Chains A and B, each alone.
Chain A
Amino acid sequence: MSLSLELINVWYIVAAALFIYGLKGLGSPATAVRGNLLSAIGMFIAVVVTLFSKGIVQFEWIIAAVVVGAIIGSVAAQRVAMTKMPEMVALFNGSGGIASLLVGWAALYNSGNTTFTHITIVLSILIGGVTFSGSLIAWGKLAEVMSSRAIVFGAQRVVNALILITLVGCGVMFCLEPSLTSPYLYAVIALSLVFGVMVVIPIGGADMPVVISLLNSYSGLAACAAGFAINNNILIVAGSLVGAAGMILTNIMCKAMNRSLANVLFSGFGAVKTATRVEGEVKPIVAEDAFLILEAASSVTFVPGYGMAVAQAQHVLRELGELLEANGTEVTYAIHPVAGRMPGHMNVLLAEANVPYDQLVEMDDINPRIENVDVAVVIGANDVVNPAARHDENSPIYGMPIINVDYARTVFVLKRSMAAGFSGVDNPLFFGDNTRMLFGDAKASISSVIAEFKS
């Protein structure tokens, strides 16, 4: 049995509606699970009706490939630790990208391709290739397989411009004289993979939230281009929805760092400016004293950063939060939009540790009332609480909105040792009069404060 093209397209409309409704559901914690389910149903419908189309005559390869993909995908999704989520998202992005590249390539073998089709084929190869290799590099940086620092070299921009120009040139040549084995085709494939590597290597670890959401957007645009190449509505609709969603997130991340997208992509974070080094004396504190201050506090705000993910301190943090609440303290968790390595990273980790989402507050909500917070506890965050962003014009993060923990009555900073933070800037917060440093592994430090509470 096979369905007519019209009927398939009717079902595609249903699928598109479910995607839209699903994305809308993802906008609120109460409806998010259902939204994701609806979107999955939409995907299921789209896949099943496609299998019933007249064009599909052989199924052996499809079945084998789907089984392999489903096994890998489901095992990966179930096994991955929540702290490794940025890496996982990067890899999923990458597989979407390479799939779009291959779909574009395979579309060359269809009959009756016009010049417009060839242009869209080149586009889907280009965007898909950049998404794939860029995501792999992002994964490498996140998983610390390679250095997460920005890799910058002198003529970088010139080299990148040359690659891009050659890439576009080869694309044009291919479209003028398309053939299945055109050398320009292979050049486009190779160069787009190289270009993906080149655009991600100059971006440092602290800028990863921007890159991840940008690559997410690209994976949608790649699917969209592939949709043009094979004349398929649902690919265009779903792909451009994702492309737009990724752009919005990218924009939110850039705003949270007060930088333009161009600045994030091309400047190489921390590679250009060096902040005025601040001199001062740190005031260390031990767990017993920290406990006494926390016990007497009536409001406590935790400010987590990437260090919390590294130390896996989210569970002990939640336990401390519960003890403080039982003690009558008002507990909140203040999350900076770019804390961690992907948008919303901290929120996911705290949710994993059973922290209710209504206890999480955003930067703009906490800053106006931070003066009334008795103790702000900074756990593994650095740049997002660095007061140099407010007043030191030499600082690479100057102008970035921060959580003003230094205005709280007391600040505890949990820090492994006195090394400079990720971006290599010294943080005047550490020398503040109201700042106390609790040195050691974040998880161990919090555990010892909890032990004090229980004794």
Chain B
Amino acid sequence: MEAVFLAFVLMLSIFLGFELISKVPATLHTPLMSGANAISGITLVGALTSAGAGNEMVATWLGAVAVAFATINVVGGYMVTNRMLSMFKKKEVPSKAGGGS
């Protein structure tokens, strides 16, 4: 029964994901992708439970390595997305920030 319940959650989330993303403008495809990628670092939550459960040493080690990788994914993903998004600007008063060449 538990599995059926989880599958139910899965189905609803997939439909929700399709609904949420289908109208995103092309301009935001990269930040959307890296933002979504950061969310996929949610596996960190699973890694924490493995690393801290006090199971056998092997399990703790596997969990700890998973925590490290998932943290890279989460921290890096959110920061790089934020960095990209902060560059997207609407046209305002012509900016004086010249140069760049």
Contact = CB atoms under 8 A, between A and B. Distances in A.
A37 B29 contact: no
A133 interface: no
Which bucket holds chain A's interface residue count? Answer: 35 or more
Contacts, number: 402
Given A43-B42, A322-B94, A315 B13 contact: no
Nearest to B81: A36
Nearest to A224: B10
A264 interface: no
A96 B73 contact: yes
A413 interface: no
B40 A216 contact: yes
B101 A99 contact: no
A106 interface: yes
Given A50-B49, A73-B75, A58 B42 contact: no
A61 B76 CA distance: 20
Most chain A Cβ neighbours within 10 Å, of B18, B26, B31: B26
Interface in A85-126: 85, 88-89, 92-93, 95-96, 98-100, 102-103, 105-110, 116
A33 B82 contact: yes
B75 A222 contact: no
Contact of A360 (B27, B53, B60, B99): B27
Interface string A393-427: 00000000000000000000000000000000000
Contacts of B2: 231
A99 B101 CA distance: 41
Interface in B1-55: 2-3, 6, 9-10, 13-18, 20-55
Contacts of A248: 17-18, 21-22
A437 B63 CA distance: 57
Contact of A27 (B13, B21, B48, B55): B21
A295 interface: no
A29 B32 CA distance: 11
B28 A89 contact: no
B46 to A, nearest CB: 4
A220 B36 contact: yes
Contact of A353 (B24, B52, B100): B100
B20 A23 contact: yes
Which bucket holds chain B's interface residue count? Answer: 35 or more
Given A107-B50, A240-B17, A95 B70 contact: yes
A354 B27 contact: no
A256 to B, nearest CB: 9
Nearest to A230: B46
Contact of B67 (A62, A234, A322): A62
A57 B24 CA distance: 42
Given A74-B75, A244-B17, A103 B100 contact: no
Contacts of B80: 76-77, 80, 85, 88-89, 92
Given A23-B20, A69-B70, 15 more contacts: A50-B45, A62-B67, A66-B67, A73-B71, A76-B72, A85-B84, A100-B66, A102-B69, A103-B50, A237-B13, A241-B20, A242-B36, A248-B18, A315-B101, A354-B89
16 contacts: A19-B39, A29-B28, A51-B48, A56-B53, A66-B67, A85-B34, A89-B34, A93-B73, A96-B70, A108-B59, A240-B13, A241-B14, A244-B15, A354-B89, A357-B88, A360-B27
